[in-house]
Homo-oligomer: A and B are copies of this chain.
Amino acid sequence: MKRKKLRVVMAGFGNVGQKMAAMLTGERDRYPGLAGLELEPVAIVTGRHGGLVDPKGIDLGRALAQYREQGGFPAAPMTALQALETLDYDALVEISTLDIAGRGGLAMAHVRAALERGRHVATANKGPAAFAYAELAALARKKNVRFLFESAVMDGTPIFCLGRALRGLNVTGISGIFNTTTNFVLSRLEAGESMASAVKTAQQLGFAEADPANDLEGWDSSAKVSVLANFFMDAGIDPLRVDRRGITGVTADDVARARAAGRRIKLVCRAWRENGRVRAEVKPREVEAGHYFSAVNGRAAALRLEFDMLGPLWLLEENPDLMDTASGVLQDLLAIASES
């Protein structure tokens, strides 16, 4: 098969970026669906680990080897934003981390810059769609390019791919469990561990960030339910307007009491229409045994969509890892490559 070459600017080259690079080079044979795709970065710029810029194209495999050998790239000759504003490329691959305090932060600036120049965007960063979906989707439409973010919620689970393909169905309500760290910590509380110890275990196993507040206080979940509500329900909300309570106030006693009644406590996200507006919340809730939410364990996640012309539909993922997140970005890039 002839490969479609996409020239990209990559903003970020952390775990997801490195996994993408591996899947497109050394691991390529495992993924026949990637056969038609070639990614040629003209810039790979990270936040704190330098960057590479070469308008003639960077070999992705060699860049990956260099990054791994040296623990990063040399100092970058320009910022990602400068690269996006000055170089020639087909698509932005935005894989930096979420910045809630900065309302999407640099990722937002990157996405805007790319779309303004009529370039496609594939982003695993939740910020842009969480804080400014309507604006960015309209800009992409105006410029006739794609603004895709499959990995923003439930890793590579093809939620938005499905949403774009649906015919005649309007989403009237959303609920779900989307955050791994809180799900894991709540399970450990059920097993009798203390909150502090459970969080430490999550960090040791690599589930939780060094600063777990984004997860425990429900910010990650708020960002995800915002993306979903904006995409599926034209909500026009953002994470700061989600009625949010994390799990930091949940005690081992709460969990034990629920358990004794045959229930489990989960950090549940919801979005619904009320008086003509969309409201969203993130709250610890008791869920019944035998309910699908109750079977969401470990790194699993669950999304329930309600429709006008169809009964509720559940999408669940089992035990995602880095490959799933990288897969989501690659699915987006394949969609872009098929059109450009």
Contacts and interface: CB of A to CB of B under 8 A. Distances in A.
Contacts of A327: 168-169, 309-310
Contact of A161 (B166, B311, B332): B166
A312 interface: yes
Contacts of A321: 311
A134 interface: no
Contacts of A338: 167
Contact of A309 (B34, B164, B309, B335): B34
A340 to B, nearest CB: 13
A297 to B, nearest CB: 7
Going nearest first, the 6 A-B pairs with the smallest beta carbon separation are A33-B168, A165-B165, A314-B316, A167-B334, A168-B334, A167-B331
A319 interface: yes
This chain's copy number in the assembly: 2
Interface stretch (A52-60, A224-232, A287-295): A287-295
A320 interface: yes
Contacts of A158: 162, 165-166, 169, 310, 313
A170 B32 contact: yes
Nearest to A334: B167
Nearest to A319: B311
Interface string A253-286: 0000000000000000000000000000000000
A324 B311 contact: yes
Given A31-B308, A295-B295, A309-B323, 15 more contacts: A23-B309, A31-B168, A32-B308, A156-B309, A158-B162, A164-B165, A167-B331, A167-B332, A168-B331, A290-B295, A290-B297, A310-B324, A311-B321, A314-B315, A315-B315
A85 interface: no
